[in-house]
Amino acid sequence: MISEHSINLLFGIGLASAMSWQVQATPFTECPTPAFLVQKNTAEMFGVNLATGYYQTLASNMGTSGKVNAMGFNLHDNYMYGWSREFATLVRIGADFQIEPLMLTGDDPQLSFFVGDVSLVDNAQYMYQRGSGKGLYRLSLDASADDYLQWQKLVDGGSLNINIFDFAFHPDRHMLYSVDSNGRLWMIDPQSGDASQLGNVGQSGTFGAVYFDVEGTLYISRNQDGQIFRIDVDAEQPSAELFAQGPSSSNNDGARCAIAPIVEPGSADIDFGDAPASYGTLLSDNGARHQLAAGQLRLGQQVDGEADAKAYPQSDDAGFWFDDEDGVIFISPLQAGADFLMVVQSSGAGFASGWFDTNGNGQFDANEQLLADAPVISGDNVFLLSVPADAVEGETWARIRMSSVTGLAAIGGAPDGEVEDHAIYISDQHTKVSFYPGLQQKATLAFEDNWPMAGDYDLNDLVVRFQSRQISDAEDNMVRFELEGEVVAMGASFHNGLAFRLPGVDPASIDQSLIRFEVNGELQSQSLLESVAGDSVLVLSADLKAHFPNQGGCDFYRTEQGCQGNGSFSFSLRVPFKQGLTVNEFPAAPYDPFIFATTDSRAPVLDVSPGRALEIHLKNQPPTSMADVSLWNLLDDFSQPSSGLYYQNANGMPWAIVIPYPWQHPIERVDISAAYPLFAGFAQSSGTINRSWYLPANGKSELLY
């Protein structure tokens, strides 16, 4: 959901009713995050998000028929100041964006200014015009000072003669900075008038709006094309990095509260990618980002707004309720040297671009852009692309961007649209892929962990969402098994481990040295294969509780209303196979997921915990050879191993189920039959009716977490 908070802060102030210039305007209430940009011959005020280039009109009538330039934001009184061409004087601009001409005293230079800013240090407006007889001027804005609004010439424009169109004060030092039309970065000492050239930033043009942020990063906006560049003014060789696409204009001037961050902390109106940081994902790395606004272009159905990226492995896209990477789908396997098909689902007309790290170096290199400004329309857009022949086999990343503007790079801001980063796999052979429960879907595994005692049937003692993929070659040999998921709820007091058994898969058929197992994005070094004869048992965690140590004032993790939960356990598993295991020999999804006890207490169910020997499987799944068979028929268990009946009570109820859907589990102590009224019919009919009982529309939302 897009937060409107920031937008209101940015632009709500522009909704104030117009006032005549004679009326004293009210100041801004705080140091605003956006940049202010005044354009056009009859001045209009815009608010610009420098991070994305997104802008909105704040005032189309500023109370003048002429231009306003040389603007600066004054931290001392929270007004903006600028030079009015119509009134030939300094004007004050309040929160209503109406100008208020000011009466100046002293030796009027009879000039018109378009370069100016307000000092953060001495509460004064500085303005500049090049050329002999002109120069750098100061006007005090301190109403209590003797020289309030009195002209003071600091240096003649004959000695300070640089072709600049705006300048800005650094937030930490009393120095002015600007970039001239040839791309030279200047630092000007307003006391002495000395100007130092700090190097050429590599971009030329008319930079009519110049801003600083609180970090001391300089932003320059080029009139001709609206492009916004950022510059580290303290770099040894400062360079202008394209940062965002903003509005272009023949007349441009900007002002900004220099102590404000470029993106307001806590805001949620920018979409970021979530590839690893090396791909240029974080704001500090000029990561790919798009402004979010209601009704604008989207990829797929979901999008999430953030103040900064959550780069993999901290990505939130494996989250609980939605994955916003839902607008780009690879409908064929990616193979080195071969074509592949990609579908881009767009909400409207725009342009799509895509980068694929085919050499696996952790970056999107210039020659890795496989899709450039391709037009898209509303709905499914199919693209036939080619993986380079020299692509490196293995897992890597792709970034797809879509916007109404063209020319986007793999990094940088955009005023609308969305970015999606996708983990992809480039194969070196023809492959077949089976998905469970679907390409962009997740299944739900839900346990009662009181076995062999009956539980309360809220089936939320452990809730895990997962997706599996089986990859085979053209000859139907298993190549790889992939499993990804996360714990979404834990309404249990007991400590439990989590494992998946692959029945009938000999561990010797697994290329164990190439298993890749990550927990919460961290590569695990220890083997997860358990020594169980005949089957491969993949132990994802020996004790999940350890990942959720403190739930604050809540008893459990995400099963009680109002309890959001602390901790996380996500997993990503890649299991490669040696030659010889065929698809037909591989078990079908959902395999055999199970939990097992730890040595922690199972009281009051059992006086002494059997530890690993206590397993809880899906109904009628036999346990592994490590299970303690003496537990059969204890308490409420009604298993009959000789008949192939396991893990059920006397009425046939299970202790675990798998649902091929991102199921919403019942809240604590709510019976599944109450939360999903169709469940009873499904269960008692042996699944002949109510087969979709688990869909949200069939649940009682007030009883679901």
Partner 1 sequence: MKRSIVIYISALTLAACGGGSNAPAVSTTTSTGATSNEQPPSTQTEIAPSTQPQANNETEQPTAVASDQLQIDANFDFDHQQQLAVTIETPLISGSRYFATICAQQAVAEDDELSADYSQCLWQATLVDESTTAAIVLPAHIQQLVAELWQIHQGQYQVQRQTLQFYDGAATVMF
User: Which of positions 490-519 make contact with partner 1 (CB under 8 A)?
Assistant: none
- Give how many residues touch partner 1 by CB under 8 A: 89
Least CB distance from residue 373 to partner 1, whole Å? 11
Q: Cβ closer to partner 1: 191 or 582? A: 582
**DSSP classification of residue 654:** B
Q: Cβ closer to partner 1: 39 or 346? A: 346
Name the phi and psi angles at 75, rounded to 5: -65, -20
Which residue in 127, 659, 667, 703 binds partner 1 (CB under 8 A)?
Answer: 659
Contact indicator for 500, 485 with CB cutoff of 8 Å? no
Determine the interface stretch with partner 1 among 106-114, 182-190, 341-349, 598-606 (rule: CB under 8 A). 341-349
Contact indicator for 294, 7 with CB cutoff of 8 Å? no
Q: How far apart are CA 549 and CA 557, in angstroms?
A: 10
Q: How far apart are CA 472 and CA 480, in angstroms?
A: 7
Q: Does 446 bind partner 1 (CB under 8 A)?
A: no
Strand partners, 597: 496
Site for partner 1 in 410-429 (CB under 8 A): none
Contact indicator for 539, 593 with CB cutoff of 8 Å? no
Q: Cβ closer to partner 1: 392 or 695? A: 695
Site for partner 1 in 268-327 (CB under 8 A): 326
Residues 6 or more apart in contact with residue 332 via CB below 8 angstroms = 339, 340, 341
Determine the interface stretch with partner 1 among 170-178, 198-206, 208-216, 585-593 (rule: CB under 8 A). 585-593
The helix (run of H) or strand (run of E) holding residue 5 is helix 5-11
Which residue in 432, 546, 579, 599 binds partner 1 (CB under 8 A)?
Answer: 432
Nearest CA among 57, 58, 60, 52 for reference residue 297: 52
Q: Does 580 bind partner 1 (CB under 8 A)?
A: no
Q: Does 329 bind partner 1 (CB under 8 A)?
A: yes
Sign of CA dihedral 282, 288, 291, 292: negative
Pairing of strands 328-330, 270-272: unpaired
Determine the interface stretch with partner 1 among 11-19, 152-160, 430-438, 532-540 (rule: CB under 8 A). 430-438
Nearest CA among 673, 676, 670 for reference residue 696: 676
Q: Cβ closer to partner 1: 30 or 339? A: 339
Q: Cβ closer to partner 1: 71 or 581? A: 581
Name the phi and psi angles at 25, rounded to 5: -75, 155
Contact indicator for 635, 605 with CB cutoff of 8 Å? yes
Which residue in 620, 628, 635, 704 binds partner 1 (CB under 8 A)?
Answer: 620
Q: Cβ closer to partner 1: 46 or 646? A: 646
Q: Does 613 bind partner 1 (CB under 8 A)?
A: no
Q: How far apart are CA 247 and CA 71, in angstroms?
A: 17
Q: Does 653 bind partner 1 (CB under 8 A)?
A: yes
Q: Does 434 bind partner 1 (CB under 8 A)?
A: yes
Q: Cβ closer to partner 1: 368 or 530? A: 368
Least CB distance from residue 659 to partner 1, whole Å? 5
Q: Does 65 bind partner 1 (CB under 8 A)?
A: no
Q: How far apart are CA 246 and CA 244, in angstroms?
A: 6
Least CB distance from residue 347 to partner 1, whole Å? 13
Nearest CA among 365, 419, 431 for reference residue 393: 431
Site for partner 1 in 175-194 (CB under 8 A): none
Determine the interface stretch with partner 1 among 122-130, 227-235, 372-380, 563-571 (rule: CB under 8 A). 372-380
Which residue in 492, 589, 597, 606 binds partner 1 (CB under 8 A)?
Answer: 589
Nearest CA among 510, 646, 528 for reference residue 577: 510
Which residue in 362, 394, 641, 687 binds partner 1 (CB under 8 A)?
Answer: 687
Q: Cβ closer to partner 1: 302 or 566? A: 302
Least CB distance from residue 459 to partner 1, whole Å? 9
Q: How far apart are CA 425 and CA 132, in angstroms?
A: 65
Which residue in 618, 631, 667, 703 binds partner 1 (CB under 8 A)?
Answer: 618
User: Six-digit token pair at 617?
Assistant: 């499987």
Q: Cβ closer to partner 1: 320 or 517? A: 320
Least CB distance from residue 377 to partner 1, whole Å? 6
Which residue in 50, 288, 672, 703 binds partner 1 (CB under 8 A)?
Answer: 672
Site for partner 1 in 376-395 (CB under 8 A): 376-377, 379-385
Beta strands in 292-438 (DSSP E): 328-330, 334-335, 339-346, 350-356, 369-376, 379-386, 394-403, 413-414, 418-427, 431-436
Least CB distance from residue 310 to partner 1, whole Å? 22
Contact indicator for 275, 397 with CB cutoff of 8 Å? yes
Q: For the CA atoms of the chain, what is the radius of gyration?
A: 32
Q: Cβ closer to partner 1: 57 or 673? A: 673
Contact indicator for 569, 519 with CB cutoff of 8 Å? yes
